[in-house]
Amino acid sequence: MSLLELDGLTIRYGDTDVVRDLSFGVDNGESVGLVGESGSGKTQTALAILGLLPANATVAGSIRIDGTELLGASEKALNSVRARHVAMVFQDPMQALNPFTQIGQQVGRILIQHKLASAAEARARVIRMFERVGLPDPARQFHAYPHQLSGGMRQRAMIASALIAEPKLLIADEPTTALDVTVQAQILELLADIRRDTALLLITHDLGIVAGHCERMLILADGRLIERGATREVFARPQHEHTARLLAAAPRLDRTDIPTGPRGDTVLAISGAEVIYADRGQESLQAVRGVDLTVRSGETVAIVGESGSGKSSLVRAALGLVPMHAGRVVFCGTALAGRVQHRKKAVRRGLQLVFQDPAGSLNPQMRVASIVAEPLVVHEPAVDAETRQERVIAMLEKVGLGTDYVHRYPHELSGGQAQRVAIARALILRPKVLVCDEAVAALDGTVREQILALLREVQAEAALAIIFITHDLSVVRAISHRVLVMYLGSLVELADNAELFANARHPYTQALLQAVPVPDPEHAGGKAILAGEVPSALRPPDGCAFHPRCPFARDICSAERPPPRKIDGATVACHFAEDLSGA
Amino acid sequence: MVSGGILAGIVVVAILGPLISPHDYLQTNFDALLQRPTLSGARLFGTDDLGRDLFVRAMLGVQVTIVVAIVASIVSLVIGVAYGAIAGYVGGRVDAVMMRFVDTLYALPFIFFVILLMVAFERNFLLIFVAIGAINWLDMARIVRGQTLSLREREFVEAARLTGVSTLRIIFRHIAPNLLGVVIVYVTLTIPQAILVESFLSFLGLGIQEPQTSLGGLVDAGVNQMEGASWMLLIPAGLLAIVLLCFNFLGDAMRDVFDARNPR
Give the pLDDT of residue B260. 45
For residue A568, give every residue at least 6 positions away whose Cβ sits within 8 Å of its Cβ, in sequence order, or none: none
Instruction: Choose between B61 and A477: higher pLDDT.
Output: A477
Residue window 30-59, chain A: list those with CB within 8 Å of chain B.
none
Give the pLDDT of residue B33. 67
Give the pLDDT of residue A581. 62
Instruction: Choose between A238 and B41: higher pLDDT.
Output: A238
Give the pLDDT of residue A583. 47
Amino acid at A246: L
Distances (CA, A) of A429 to A243, A358, A423, A469: 39, 19, 11, 21
Helix B125-152, helix B92-107: angle, nearest 10: 140
Give the pLDDT of residue A301. 95
φ and ψ at residue A101, rounded to 5 degrees: -125, 140
- What pLDDT, in 10s, does the model give residues A353-363? 998 888 788 99
- What pLDDT, in 10s, does the model give residues A209-243? 999 889 999 999 988 999 999 999 999 999 999 99
| Mean pLDDT score across all residues of chain B | 79
Strand partners, A536: none
Element (H, E) at A104: helix A103-113
Residues in chain A: 583
For residue B164, give the nearest of A353, A364, A379 by CB distance.
A379
φ and ψ at residue A272, rounded to 5 degrees: 60, 35
Mutate to test the interface with B, among A363, A379, A438 (most CBs of B within 10 A): A363
Rounded distance between C-alpha atoms, residue A159 and residue A167, angstroms? 12
Cα atoms in the 13 Å half-sphere on the side-chain side of A493: 31
Q: Which residues of A touch B178 (CB under 8 A)?
A: 363-365
Q: Which residues of B touch A380 (CB under 8 A)?
A: none
Q: Reduce the secondary structure of A159-207 to three states and give it as a string.
A: HHHHHCCCCCEEEEECCCCCCCHHHHHHHHHHHHHHCCCCEEEEEECCH
pLDDT for B47 beyond 80 = no
Residue A15 Cα to chain centre, angstroms: 33
When pLDDT is cut at 50, 70 and 90, the band that residue B39 belongs to is low
Rounded distance between C-alpha atoms, residue A32 and residue A19, angstroms? 18
- What pLDDT, in 10s, does the model give residues A430-458? 999 999 998 888 888 888 888 999 999 88
Element (H, E) at A340: none
pLDDT for B40 beyond 80 = no
pLDDT for B192 beyond 60 = yes
* Any B CB within 8 A of A321 CB: yes
Helix B54-90, helix B215-224: angle, nearest 10: 130
For residue B163, give the nearest of A355, A360, A375 by CB distance.
A375
For residue B159, give the nearest of A353, A356, A429 by CB distance.
A353
**Taken in order A407, A412, A416, A421, is the CA torsion positive or negative?**
positive
Q: What is the pTM of this model?
A: 0.80
- List the alpha helices (DSSP H) in A413-506: 415-427, 445-462, 473-479, 497-502
Which positions of chain A have pLDDT values less than 70?
279-282, 524, 581-583
Give the residue-averaged pLDDT of B131-156: 85
DSSP state of A82: B
Share of chain B above pLDDT 90, in %: 3
ipTM of the complex: 0.75
Binary contact (A378, B166; C-beta < 8 A): yes
When pLDDT is cut at 50, 70 and 90, the band that residue B229 belongs to is confident
Give the residue-averaged pLDDT of B195-220: 77
When pLDDT is cut at 50, 70 and 90, the band that residue B25 belongs to is low
Say how many CB pairs under 8 Å bridge A and B.
Answer: 66
Binary contact (A340, B161; C-beta < 8 A): yes
Give the pLDDT of residue A329. 92
Residue B209 Cα to chain centre, angstroms: 18
- What pLDDT, in 10s, does the model give residues A313-334? 999 999 988 888 888 999 998 8
For residue A193, give every residue at least 6 positions away whose Cβ sits within 8 Å of its Cβ, in sequence order, or none: none
Domains of chain B plus CATH, in order, are 54-261 (1.10.3720.10)
| Strands, E assignment, A81-184 | 86-89, 169-173
Share of chain A above pLDDT 70, in %: 98
Rounded distance between C-alpha atoms, residue B41 and residue B22, angstroms? 12
- List the alpha helices (DSSP H) in A399-430: 415-427
Rounded distance between C-alpha atoms, residue A313 and residue A575, angstroms? 26
Binary contact (B159, A321; C-beta < 8 A): no
Q: Which residues of B touch A381 (CB under 8 A)?
A: none
Binary contact (B159, A379; C-beta < 8 A): no
Give the pLDDT of residue B263. 43
Give the pLDDT of residue A421. 93
Q: Which residues of A touch B161 (CB under 8 A)?
A: 321, 340-341
Give the pLDDT of residue A24. 93
**Taken in order B170, B176, B181, B186, is the CA torsion positive or negative?**
positive
Q: Distance, in angstroms, between B8 CA and closest chain A CA?
A: 29
